[in-house]
Amino acid sequence: MKTEEINEAIQETDAAIQEADSRESVTFGANRNKDFSKEPMCLSGRGVTRVFHTGKITTVAVDHVDFDFHRGELISIVGESGSGKTTLSKMLLGLLDPTEGEISYMGKPRDISTRAKKKEYWQGIQAIFQDPFSSYNVFHKIDSVLLDCINMRGDKNLSKEEKHALMTEACSFVNLKFAELTNKYPFELSGGQMQRLMIARIFLLKPTILLADEPTSMIDACSRATILDMLLKLRDETGMTVIFITHDIGLAYYISDSVYIMEHGKFVESGKPDKVMLEPEAPYTKRLISDVPKIHEPWDLSTVG
Amino acid sequence: MKNILKSCLHSPRFMTGFILFIILLGIALFYPLFHPGNPLQMIGQNSFVEPGTYLSLYDANTVNLNGKTSTFIMDDAAVNRADSNISEADRQTMLAYLAAAGVDVSHLDTSHENLDSLVTLWQENYDSSKKVEGYTTSAKKRDLRTLNSRLLAALNAGEQTLLTKNGDEEVRTAVANNAYVRSNQVANVINLPLGTDNFGRDMMKELAAAIGTSLIIGLIAGTIATILGLVIGLLSGYLGGIVDDILMFVCNVFTVIPGFVLLILIYYSVGQEARGVTTCAIVIGITSWVWTARSVRSQVISLRNRDHVNLSKLSGHSLVRIIVTDILPYIASYVVMAFILQVSSGILAEAQLSLLGLGPKTTTTPTLGLMMNWAMLYNAHTQGYWWAYFPVIAVIALTSFSLNLMNTGLDQVFNPTLRD
Ligand SMILES: Nc1ncnc2c1ncn2[C@@H]1O[C@H](COP(=O)(O)OP(=O)(O)O)[C@@H](O)[C@H]1O
Ligand SMILES: [Mg+2]
């Protein structure tokens, strides 16, 4: 590498560090002590169940769960891998039918029986998935991903320049430069950039509910905080309900207004994060909490080797 | 797309297959252009004429009459003439006689190379008055005499005269033994690179037409099978549920009954009159989509749970749009490869059908399978008329070989893990 290139790289890193410093660090949710139970109901479920039959094996992925998500709330659903979080999120999104149980949307039983009704439902609920690498159609350019969102929100008839301006705005919200992305394919970006583009998509669509299924679990640690930051910023700006699915109970504690703990398809505990974290009742919750590494305590190496 | 084309060009397997295929296609397209005419016209009175160029004797002599001959001095002309006039049996008789007369012929045989020495020895040792054991009867002696005169005629042929009629007047023209005519001076020359078949039809013309017909059958059958398999596989895999159950039941039915038996049954029930080339291709197509459907289905099942499909659904895209833009492009390379294999197996299926005598009923165009069938019916293979069946087998094998090579080449292009 030439010296100029090295210098350039160093400068870039410096800039990134400065940017990270200037950023407000992830803090407790702004509405942490707000009582959301007074807010209108957004999405609720009673006895929601999903059973999979694979050959002779029957898996109960989600087992009679009840939940009430209120408008503007940030809900975390925490559970180990395989506990049924993704299955539940697919049912919430209307991508998978529950085998049993009722889901209500905006206080009324959810009706997504026809394509038109589904389309309307999806105006209100959108998602960010776990794996950014499989979230994009590799044959479509980034422009078409964003244009699709603009069309979907009903701005099909805007002029080319207006559409361009919208896309630029969305990209700059997530610290991407649209001019550099145009005519590129998603797979030319890094995982973190792809996930940011997903947030730009949500920025354009502005749904009432955002379902984020472990959006940071496949991302390198450096990009994680940035992405969380952007999500929280978007939520503060739009006031949307966020259903945040994670296996990281510490993270859930920091960001959410309400926590649901999921074990083997069941909600074993739910409530305010302070209550769940500080006075856990279910043994599973206790185990999850004890698994969080405690940076401030000395490492206990007596059990090693 | 550009990259795919580029790596196709760099894949030796694909290119070998492709070039082979283009050669076969070129024969089918261009040979009839330069040699127009009905490929099934019976030009020969006798069956199974050997490959070669045939000059009209009559016209060759006319050239001589007009004095347009050229004269060449060819030292071995006499030997060549003898070679083509003295039969294998004559040579054996000569060898046997010489051996009986006590001449050492152990170093000689009846081959072309030895003819010169054999003739020299014969001329030195043959004497009709000499008594040689085993050649004492008058019949044997007469045979030897005629042989000797045939030999002398062949070796020392002087001028021949040609007697022609010009009106009432008889004209005698001398034909020198070193007079030559150019083959394209002769008005009627028949070129039969592959001889003729049992019906006296030009095999090469027939073969070129048959390659064309068989490729068309392969293309029609392959297209039908691929489209059917693709649509059924897509619907079954993407929709799942009851649609999947029904379609897979149909698939299983088609799997349980061997495809070829089904093919024969359907084809037979169509009736002989309706059994044209197109019908043949369609029937082959509708009995061979099953494995395409199965593999497309399994690929679609793994694709439909990918998040980009979920995201497309969340964007409100229609079923058709999701299938066309989010599923099809991912399996396109696979479908192209399946299509190539279907074309190849379509051509083979036609050959098998025709070999069983169930080939398309046609009076205008031959197919590779029909040509095999004719060769077999008229015992070309048992009587050693290799030109009537071997080129056909070679073409069938080469077509299928080239298509399969292209297919494995594409596999390497689309599947970087297979590259070496
Ligand atoms: N399409 C499916 N068919 C069969 N079993 C499934 C399917 N999807 C998920 N499961 C099963 O359901 C359980 C929950 O899976 P999932 O919801 O993906 O868990 P999580 O997202 O919490 O890791 C797992 O045991 C998984 O094997
Ligand atoms: Mg999951």
Pairwise CB contact (< 8 Å): A137 & B326:
yes
CA nearest A205 in B: which residue? B315
Pairwise CB contact (< 8 Å): B329 & A149:
no
Q: Give the mean model confidence (pLDDT) for residues B48-64.
A: 87
* Cα atoms found within 13 Å of the Cα of residue A272, Cβ hemisphere only: 13
- For testing the chain B interface, which of A134, A146, A149, A209 should be mutated: the one with the most B CBs within 10 Å? A134
- pLDDT tens string B285-343: 988 899 899 999 999 999 988 999 999 999 989 999 999 999 998 998 899 999 999 99
- pLDDT tens string B391-400: 999 999 999 9
Distance CA B305, CA B312 (A): 11
Q: How many CB atoms lie within 10 A of CB B130?
A: 9
* Cα atoms found within 13 Å of the Cα of residue A24, Cβ hemisphere only: 10
CA B116 – ligand 1 centroid, Å: 90
Residue B404 has pLDDT above 90, yes or no: yes
- pLDDT tens string A51-62: 999 888 999 999
Point out the residues of chain A with pLDDT beneath 50: 23-27, 305
More confident: A44 or B263: A44
Pairwise CB contact (< 8 Å): A119 & B316:
yes
Q: In chain B, what are the domain boundaries?
A: 2-44+198-418, 54-72+158-192, 77-155
| Contacts A135 to B, Cβ<8 Å | 307-308, 311
Using a pLDDT cut of 70, give the percent of chain B over it. Answer: 98
Distance CA A270, CA A281 (A): 10
Mutate to test the pocket of ligand 1, among A56, A58, A59, A213 (most ligand atoms within 8 A of CB): A59
In words, the CATH class of domain B2-44+198-418 is mainly alpha
Residue B125 has pLDDT above 50, yes or no: yes
Question: Looking at residue A15, what is its pLDDT?
Answer: 60
> In the numeric block, which tokens belong to residue A99?
């085998």
Distance CA B275, CA B280 (A): 6
Q: Give the mean model confidence (pLDDT) for residues B346-361.
A: 88
Distance CA B3, CA B99 (A): 75
Distance CA B217, CA B225 (A): 12
pTM (two decimals): 0.79
Pairwise CB contact (< 8 Å): B311 & A129:
yes
Distance CA A284, CA A276 (A): 11
| Contacts A115 to B, Cβ<8 Å | 318
- For testing the chain A interface, which of B238, B315, B322 should be mutated: the one with the most A CBs within 10 Å? B315
Q: Does A129 touch chain B (CB under 8 A)?
A: yes
Residue B140 has pLDDT above 60, yes or no: yes
Residues B260, B349: contact at Cβ < 8 Å?
Answer: yes
Question: Looking at residue A3, what is its pLDDT?
Answer: 64
CA A89 – ligand 2 centroid, Å: 9
Residue B216 has pLDDT above 50, yes or no: yes
Residues B48, B380: contact at Cβ < 8 Å?
Answer: yes
Residue B49 has pLDDT above 80, yes or no: yes
C-beta A89 within 6 A of ligand 1: no
Q: What is the mean pLDDT of chain B?
A: 87
Backbone dihedral angles phi then psi of residue B171, each to the nearest 5 degrees: -115, 135
A130 CA: distance to closest CA in chain B (Å): 9
What is the pLDDT confidence band of residue B53, given thresholds at 50, 70 and 90?
very high
Residue with tokens 């030999």: B151
Pairing of strands A241-246, A209-213: parallel
Question: Looking at residue A305, what is its pLDDT?
Answer: 45
Q: How many CB atoms lie within 10 A of CB A52?
A: 13
Atom 20 (ligand 1) nearest CA: A82
Q: Give the N- to C-terminal CA distance of chain A in Å, as an integer.
A: 43
Question: Residue A55, SS3?
Answer: coil
Pairwise CB contact (< 8 Å): A127 & B311:
yes
> In the numeric block, which tokens belong to residue B230?
């693709």
Q: In chain A, what are the domain boundaries?
A: 30-132+208-290
Selecting from 2.60.40.290, 3.40.50.300, 2.60.40.10, 3.50.50.60, what CATH number does the domain A30-132+208-290 have? 3.40.50.300
